[in-house]
Each structure stands twice: as C-alpha cells, then as structure tokens.
Amino acid sequence: MKELIFYIFLYIVFCLLQFSFGKYLNICGIFPNFILILIVYLGLSKRTINAQILGFLLGLTWDVFSPNVFGVRAIMFASMGYFTGLLGKNFDRDKISTQCVVVLFSNIIYWLGFNFTYYILPNGGSHTSFTFITLQGTMRLIVTVIIAPMVFYILDFLIDYMGRET
C-alpha cells in the first residue's frame, strides 16, 4: 500500500514537473525530460515492472496533453522501463558516469523511436523529418543528461527516507 502511495506521489510530482512547472522553469524553451530520467532510474533500480507501469501511465498522460499520435510516448516510456531494467543488471547504478551514459542513450533511443514512429505512421500528427535535428533538441538532451545525477540523488534520498531501499 505504501509503495502504491509512493508511486502515485511520484506520478503526480513528475506530471507537475514536466507539464506545469516547465512553463516557468525552462530556459529559452530548454527543459530536461524528467519523466525519462525517472523511468531510467526505476529501470536501473531493478524495479522494471514499476518502471514499465509508471512509464506507460506517464507516457499516456503526456500523449493526452500532446496533439501528437496518442500512445507513442506510452509505448516509448514503457519500452524504456523494460530495456533499462534488462540492461541495469550489468551496470553500477551508483556511478554518475553510468547514470549519464544510460540517460544519454535512453534519450537518443527515445528520440529515434519517437521520430521513427512518426516517419512510418501515415498522417502522423507531426511533420518532423526522421533526420531532423534541432539545436534546441540537442540542448534538451544535454541538459537532461547533466541534470540526471541530481534527480537520481533526490530519488535515492526519497526512497531512503520512505524506507523503501531494497
């Protein structure tokens, strides 16, 4: 029950952080992808099922607010939770370099997958080309990677505080 409340809390906090506060906290439209960081964190923490569920729900919520194809982000975040959970067994999660590298690759895969979906889907909600790389997108990726260790640390602290360290 406690775990469920904790994940609902995480869901609400990250929804607010990504959809509501981003409007005020972004710098020239550059704002990190906190949801991706959370999913990677949960995947690396061997909470693959939780990462998948939370990823799917957060992705679905994002899709609801986005005018893009409904369900794309849900699949992307659920996949991210699953694959980082599988790969996480081979990594030392506590190392900052590991956190950064995994978040970087996850972000690239997220970006590629997202664009690929739009590329193959007829009448996709976006006209973005598959190979289109923007400076803003690149900056967003870099900021996400830079901020990831900090989010990992806060989440570690929160989980320790809740007595949920397994």
Partner 1 sequence: MYQNQKSKHETIIFVIFLLIGLSFIIGRFTASVSLIKNFIYHIAYPNLNAANFIFRSVGNFADNLKAVTYLRQENIAYKQKNQELSDKLRNYELMSQEYKSLLNLLKLKSIPNTMSVFAKISVRETSEWYQWLIIDKGSDDGLYNDLPVAMFNKDENTLCAVGRIIETHKSSAKVVLITNPIYALPVEIKGKDINCLAEGFDSNLLKITYIAHGSDVNPGDELVVSELSSVFQKDMPVGVIKDVMDESSLDFKVATAEVFFEAHTLYDAVILVPKPETK
Backbone angles phi, psi at 27, to 5 degrees: -115, 110
Site string for partner 1, 104-143 (x = CB under 8 A): -------------x---x----------------------
Q: Does 64 participate in binding partner 1 (rule CB under 8 A)?
A: yes
Q: Is the separation of the CB atoms in 34 and 76 below 8 Å?
A: no
Rounded Cα–Cα distance for residues 166 and 137 (Å): 36
Rounded Cα–Cα distance for residues 39 and 43 (Å): 6
Number of residues counted as binding partner 1 (CB under 8 A): 32
Of residues 24 and 161, the one with the C-beta less far from partner 1: 24
Reference 52, options 76, 78, 73; nearest CA is 78
Q: Is the separation of the CB atoms in 50 and 88 below 8 Å?
A: no
Site string for partner 1, 19-58 (x = CB under 8 A): xxx-xx-----------------------xx--xx--x--
Shortest Cβ 71–partner 1 spacing (Å): 3
Of residues 21 and 157, the one with the C-beta less far from partner 1: 21
